[in-house]
Structures are given as C-alpha cells and as structure tokens.
Amino acid sequence: MTLALNPIPFWFLRHGETDWNAEGRSQGRTDIPLNTVGLAQARRAALAMVDRDIVTIVASPLSRALRTAEIVAEALNLPVGTDVELQEVCFGTEEGKPMGDWYDDWVAGTYTPDGAETFNGLHDRAVAAINRATALPGPVLVVAHGALFRALRRALGHAPNVRTPNALPTFCSPPASGAVWEISPVTLPHLPA
C-alpha cells in the first residue's frame, strides 16, 4: 500500500546550489556543501520566507540542506530540527557521475542502480517524513532535496519527473476535493548588490 500525505499544507525548499549541481552530477547521499551561488540562493530564499508565519523548520541532515535551512532559520529567528529520513536518495553506483539516461527509468521503477534506493522506496520514506513534519506546529518549512521532491510530486498528484529549482520556496496545499495538491512557488526578491 502506498503511503498518503496528511492533508496539511507545508512549505518545501530544495537546498541551494552545489558544485555537483552546477556540473550536472548525481549527488545522492554524498555530502557536497553549498557553493557561493548556493549560499546566495539560500539568503534570497530566506528573504522570501520572512512574514510567511513559519513556526517550524525541519531539514535533511546533509550539509547542503542543513546549511540552507540554517540561513533561512536565522532570518526567521527559529531553530532547525532534522529528520534523517529527509536525506536525499542513495543513488548507489551512480553517485558522483553525470546524470544519465537511467534516471527516467529509475523514476518509472523499471531500473535501480546497484546499491541505490528504489523510487518507490524514496516515495514512501519522503511521505512518512513529511507527515512527521506536518504533525509539528505549523506552518512548517521542510528543507531537503530534488529527487526527494520528485517523489513528493507523485504523492501530491503531479508528474514526478520534474526538476525542482535550487532554493525556490514552494507552498504545497491539499486539494479541497480530488487528489491533486496545489504546488505554488514564490516570487523571489532581488538580492541587494
């Protein structure tokens, strides 16, 4: 049985850019830090999250997501909690390699790299982690990863294989009826020069 999301709205933020993002490499669980661009993206996301009434921030413990969350938390004067189940998918033998043709098959469930987590496994882990987060006082901001959000897109009733931009705050709200959630990215402010 596939897990379903609690019908509770939440904010999602993918971490800022890393060098491996810029190079088009599969990061997975490899703990690559934010680069200079990623740090600036996190600061811009923090500005966009001010006055959104966020109460709780939960992040992946991988440094790229945790640092992004810390930058936002500083702007919101909030602590950051972590959930190990918000970590990025393990890509096994594909980690560190350029993203390849295998990725579409992985999302479709017809191929899993050696040593990697299945897309369905990622889906269930991601949904369970979001459900734990949204059980906390809200509104909740979850700071995590791109492949994890692809799995969440499936749970939200959307096509999963869509790239999530780095550090773009997105509000996910349950439907009044039906199975498709609303996914609403915010307009980001310009950073001061």
Which residue numbers are catalytic?
15, 88
Write down the residue that tokens 């810029």 correspond to.
22
Write down the residue that tokens 């596939």 correspond to.
2
Read off the tokens for 97.
């390699």
- Whats the size of the chain, residue-wise? 193
Rounded distance between C-alpha atoms, residue 95 and residue 183, angstroms:
28
Enumerate the β-bridge partners of residue 172. Answer: 10, 183
Report the 10 Å Cβ neighbour count for 39: 17
Rounded distance between C-alpha atoms, residue 158 and residue 182, angstroms:
9
Q: What is the dihedral of CA 25, 106, 129, 124, to 10 degrees?
A: -170
Q: What residue type is 158 in one-letter code?
A: H
What are the residues whose beta carbons fall under 8 Å from the beta carbon of 101, sequence distance 6 or more?
none
Based on DSSP, count helices (H) and strands (E) in the chain, helices before strands. 6, 6
